[in-house]
Structure 1
């Protein structure tokens, strides 16, 4: 871990942490964030991932001051190729993480930041947090998978509303819509997000990985019902052989609390 980095990664006792210290995304920040997310995706020992922003903001998307400087360049390449060079790889790296990802949101979560937050599995937000798509306000569509996530979570009509109107919403409204999992008092957001992540890191890891795979398969809509059922059957057969499953069954019969090892 390096406190002077804009984004960093660390792993302790099965919990990987990605910390985004700088909410506005410059090239440097995006490169450091990509490195951190790649390390989380490549870890063979992490049983859960905690993705945190700073206390003031989770992420406000592109640093527009840097973006404006790139636009002034005659080629405009620095401004126009960042989606393929940075945002897409970051989102794809988040997609590669098989274990649960808990996102802690302490403040503003806007534009690409909202897309990154929605790439997680569980989102804990401070009550002061605000959410917005923001892209059309600067004459852009959307990136970082935001449109896709909004459609999957809310449906086409609500996604269209949020993208076209760009209205900012408070955390409680995001909770009502299902965009966040839990809203807590402002001083508790990081503590609560870490509690949830540690709970998942001590759980049946293989079962969590399977559950994520099943939900994604259903959400993507590329499989027929019979194929989805077959995938479930295959995964259940695999999970039935794990020590966590057998130990949990024995603990249930003995009226004891199971202890999961992730195996």
Structure 2
């Protein structure tokens, strides 16, 4: 594990904390590869039932560490996108467990788009989001041109990306970019409550729901209805479904095991 990424596991919730606070958790090669490795490990570890991505210090993630792409032996920006960021986005979307972005501060550039790739995004009220790419002559990457228009609409996404305007967390919530903005002093407690709730739910059903949401971006209605029937069949054969029905009939709280 890289010193740039801290991992902890508590009550089924894996926390991946970006840890380069001196550069606002901007991403370099070691951090990108460590994040890829840890997301893969979370997929394989059955004790992990939910994942939190957050940052150390005052920032969530300021995007790419520009020092890495300005030296004499600098790689092409496209190479970094393809080798570092694209795999992270695909791992988040394909992870068969819910991924929560807990945005504790500014999320800029690729950092903003990595947050938007997560299943649920919450933020401190003092946090902000900025599509900073146009300010340095680049285009939004890390899935930004895919996720943002689907969240806030084509017109608003275009303006945010072209102008590079900063959006506060409350405004981001109001426009549908994120799920909720929490008061700064209640943020950690609210994130814990949210993620522990997710970790206690039927993990397979959540995974199937996530996969259906992924498919809905390209399916037509008939294809999506068929997919829902297929995944409902799978969900109906899980142990957690049996537990859920039994708990309902017995008028008690279900105890799901993620199976």
Give the Å deviation of 1:260. Answer: 1.3
Contact 2:69 2:75 (C-alpha < 8 Å) held by counterparts: no
For structure 1, the 5+ residue unaligned runs are none
1:16 to 14, 29, 32: 14
Q: CA RMSD in A?
A: 1.8
Cα separation, 2, equivalents of 1:42 and 1:29: 20
The residue number in structure 2 matching 1:107 is: 105
Q: Secondary structure at the match of 1:236?
A: helix
1:255 to 240, 245, 251: 251
Contact 1:41 1:97 (C-alpha < 8 Å) held by counterparts: yes
Q: Bigger shift: 55-64 or 26-35?
A: 26-35
Give the Å deviation of 1:30. Answer: 2.0
Residues 81-116 of structure 1: CA distance to partner in whole angstroms, max 9, x if unpaired?
A: 211121112212222211111111110011000111
Give the Å deviation of 1:216. Answer: 1.3
Cα separation, 2, equivalents of 1:67 and 1:250: 57
Q: Bigger shift: 95-104 or 245-254?
A: 245-254
1:169 aligns with 2:167: yes
Q: Bigger shift: 167-176 or 38-47?
A: 38-47
Q: Which runs of 4 or more aligned residues in structure 1 lie more than 6 Å from their structure 2 counterparts after TM superposition?
A: none
1:224 to 207, 220, 223: 220
Contact 1:107 1:126 (C-alpha < 8 Å) held by counterparts: yes
Q: Secondary structure at the match of 2:126?
A: coil
Cα separation, 2, equivalents of 1:231 and 1:109: 34
1:179 aligns with 2:177: yes
Cα separation, 1, equivalents of 2:29 and 2:203: 34
The residue number in structure 2 matching 1:36 is: 38
Cα separation, 2, equivalents of 1:81 and 1:243: 44
Matched ranges for 1:39-50 at <5 A: 39-50=41-52
Q: Secondary structure at the match of 1:58?
A: strand
Q: How many residues in Structure 1 have an aligned counterpart in Structure 2?
A: 255
TM normalised by structure 2 equals: 0.91
TM normalised by structure 1 equals: 0.90
For structure 2, the 5+ residue unaligned runs are none
Contact 2:96 2:204 (C-alpha < 8 Å) held by counterparts: no
Give the Å deviation of 1:165. Answer: 0.7
The residue number in structure 2 matching 1:241 is: 237
The residue number in structure 1 matching 2:56 is: 54
Q: Secondary structure at the match of 1:8?
A: strand
